[in-house]
Amino acid sequence: MNATIRAAAALLLTLLLAACSGDEPPAPLTAGPEHRVGTGSDPHSFAEYEKVRIRHLSLDLDADMSARILTGHVVLELDRVEPGFQRLVLDSRDLNIRDVNAIRPDGEYLPVSWRFGADHGHLGRPLVIVLPAGIEQLRIDYTTSPEAFGLQWLDGEQTSSGRPFMFSQSQPHYARTWVPLQDTPAVRYTFDATVRGPRELMVVMGAAGNEFERNDTGEYRFEMPEPIPSYLMAIAIGDLVFAETGPRTGIYAEPPWIEAAAGEFDVLEEMVEIGENLYGEYRWGRYDLLVLPPSFPFGGMENPRLSYITPTIIAGDGSLLALVAHELAHSWSGNLVTNAAWRDLWLNEGFTVHFEARIMEELYGQEVRDQLAKLSWDGLMDTLDAIDARDRQLVRDLSDRDPEQAFMRVPYDMGRFFIDWIEHRVGRDVFDEFLRGYFDHFAFQSITSEDFRAYLEQHLVVPNRGRLTMAEVDQWLYEPGMPEIAFEIRPESDAFVAVDDWRERWQSGEVDLDDLPADAWSVYQWLHFLSGLEGRLDAETMEAMDERFDLVAQQNHEILFLWLLRSIEAEYAPGIERLETFLLEVGRNKFTRPLYAALAESAWGRDWGIEVYERARPGYHPLTRQASERALGL
Ligand code: BES
Ligand code: ZN
């Protein structure tokens, strides 16, 4: 049977089935939902989730590490919110769909008609499927593309173990590049999965069921009993070993990383306990970390039960653990209570940065909290100066933009200071109690900024009349920039004031490099020192600083990054040499994007940067390629 005849037969069958059940014939396949783009409640998904929703999905996939594809099928279990509605629209991008079948209640397969809608670039293509009456299960057989944006595949030569590696990054809207589904944070579902990979590798997922040792079969089974949004779907395959850090926490990494990682992250169990004491029960069973290759485009990703972490925070002294606190905090803010669309991202990230600070304060005290807060405040102020008014708002209209654009400092740091400010106005005890109620009330739901606003009014603003007003709240939510009242909580750090003083005296020639008491400085003081340096440093000054502090050999990637940025400005040869190896190894966008952008500012820098980029590109994640190319103007 050729494809046309098969499709015609399928359509006929569906029509017959509909006729037998006495329902309306299915909505015509030609009337697509494309018009919804930009007008629906989540403008970044084609899914008509107010009509029919995924309740559960079962994945069955084989990973081919050399062809760089996942192949298999997904069974979707549906909630027919509007039972007569006879169309299912899924999000998809670069997927090769092989077959779509409805599964009847008696288990019989029924081929159904489907088609792709128009290509919408980064949003992909709607996959429009006829949904016969009475059907609640669909099976889709498919294969991913080697270019799938949400997956990175590395060969043995590109990893530290010498074996291939693959990992997913689904947030914000890349799950659709490896599973056909309703790719919107508004829809939550449970899932189970069976995944087969090469026997010498181990498969892990952001789910229950991760094994502690590689098995002999290459087949791994997982289950996610709590409903999650699609952006939290996560899979990884590699030469992984496990190290325990406590009864319900541990680290997965390639063998060369495991010892350093387990040492660096040994506070993990304690962090989970701190989180529970603050915000109520940890509801996800285990909490493990997966240390990824340095090409991972982010610092961390809060995949439930198994957060993904860049190895660039392994500094040897635990100084960059705020990032782990951050991903863990998402187990409440984000994973438990989720933003309904990317316009509400601050509900995820702002809350999380606030919690991250609380966890760090519990672990290391007020002084560390203040230093981190000051870094966050200063960074935010610089950003606000540099961006358009429409991006200075917490709640933003992103309907005509790539959801990638949501991830700027504003939802993170301005969101965090908004939460800090509420706490400041009502007091910590009142606020903590409110938060526990809030997480309980909205647990496993996806909410909008307006849902939060209404809950806040009823449960905090009204009962604490006189402490804060809704007009003030709305200023934070809907007015561009930091409101005046933000200055009530402007962070201060004596340790930073001292650094400012030394920096000024050194830069004005009053004291020598040798006089700086920098050996006693915290990593955060160092970051503050370097980011506050006035003007351009020349190569000679940089050399003197390296002689004294050996910054070019820094193990701490945050400090090293600032030093490499300065090296570009100063055309400082030892720094440029280190920059080359850095760019060839690290694909974390927070570092690579600004470095390429700084290179692009001069003619020599751009030529040199392009040459390095071409060599680094095969090892970069699709997101890092995209951002680097933009930064270099390619
Ligand atoms: N959810 C984000 C990761 C992310 C960012 C995914 C942008 C998709 C787009 C994660 O929780 C996060 O915020 N990571 C930060 C670290 C944090 C300490 C600010 C990062 O990766 O830098
Ligand atoms: Zn986050």
pLDDT, tens digit, for every residue of 421-450?
999 999 999 999 999 999 999 999 999 999
Q: How large is the average pLDDT for residues 315-327? A: 97
pLDDT score at 406: 84
The answer to whether 293 and 158 have CB atoms below 8 angstroms apart is yes
Q: How far is the CA of 561 from the centre of ligand 1 (A)?
A: 18
Q: Tell me the percentage of the chain whose pLDDT exceeds 70.
A: 94
Closest ligand, as measured to the CA of 346: 2
Q: How large is the average pLDDT for residues 201-206? A: 98
Residue to mutate, 326, 338, 347, 626, ligand 1, most ligand atoms under 8 Å from C-beta: 326
pLDDT score at 283: 96
Name residue 432's amino acid.
D
Q: How large is the average pLDDT for residues 455-466? A: 97
308 is catalytic: no
More reliable by pLDDT, 41 or 415: 415
Q: How large is the average pLDDT for residues 143-160? A: 97
The answer to whether 11 and 25 have CB atoms below 8 angstroms apart is no
Q: Which two tokens stand for residue 413?
A: 């740091």
Going by their DSSP bridges, the two strands 53-64 and 188-196 should be labelled as parallel
Enumerate domains of the chain plus CATH numbers: 3-146+172-197 (2.60.40.1730), 240-331 (3.30.2010.30), 340-489 (1.10.390.10), 524-632 (1.25.40.320)
Q: Tell me the percentage of the chain whose pLDDT exceeds 90.
A: 92
* pLDDT above 90: residue 556: yes
Among candidate residues 342, 334, 256, 336, the one with its CA nearest the CA of residue 300 = 334
Query: Out of 327, 349, 361, 423, which one is annotated catalytic?
Result: 327
- Residue of the CA atom closest to atom 22 of ligand 1: 299
Question: Considering the entire predicted model, what is its pTM?
Answer: 0.94
* pLDDT above 50: residue 552: yes
Three-state SS string over 385-406 comes to HHCCHHHCCCCCCCCCCCHHHH
Task: Please report which confidence band the pLDDT of residue 405 belongs to, taking 50, 70 and 90 as the band edges.
Answer: confident
Q: How far is the CA of 354 from the centre of ligand 2 (A)?
A: 11
Q: How far is the CA of 257 from the centre of ligand 1 (A)?
A: 22
pLDDT score at 13: 43
Residue range 78-118, pLDDT digits in tens? 999 999 999 999 999 999 999 999 999 999 999 999 999 99
**Chain-wide mean pLDDT for the chain?**
93
The minimum-distance atom of ligand 1 relative to the CA of 404 is: 9
Residue range 158-186, pLDDT digits in tens? 999 999 999 999 999 999 999 999 999 99
- Residue of the CA atom closest to atom 14 of ligand 1: 300
Buried b / exposed e across 194-230, counting CB within 10 Å, b at 16+?
A: ebbbbeebbbbbbbbbbeeebeeebebebebebbbbb
Task: Please report which confidence band the pLDDT of residue 142 belongs to, taking 50, 70 and 90 as the band edges.
Answer: very high
pLDDT score at 199: 98
Q: How far is the CA of 590 from the centre of ligand 1 (A)?
A: 10
Residue range 525-538, pLDDT digits in tens? 999 999 999 999 99
Task: Please report which confidence band the pLDDT of residue 55 belongs to, taking 50, 70 and 90 as the band edges.
Answer: very high
The minimum-distance atom of ligand 1 relative to the CA of 356 is: 18
* pLDDT above 60: residue 577: yes
pLDDT score at 152: 98
Is the minimum distance from the CB of 326 to ligand 1 under 6 angstroms? yes
Q: Which two tokens stand for residue 174?
A: 């890349």
327 is catalytic: yes
Q: Which two tokens stand for residue 60?
A: 């069955």
Would you mind telling me the total number of residues written for the chain in this entry? 634
Among candidate residues 624, 77, 41, the one with its CA nearest the CA of residue 343 = 41
Residue range 216-265, pLDDT digits in tens? 999 999 999 999 999 999 999 999 999 999 999 999 999 999 999 999 99
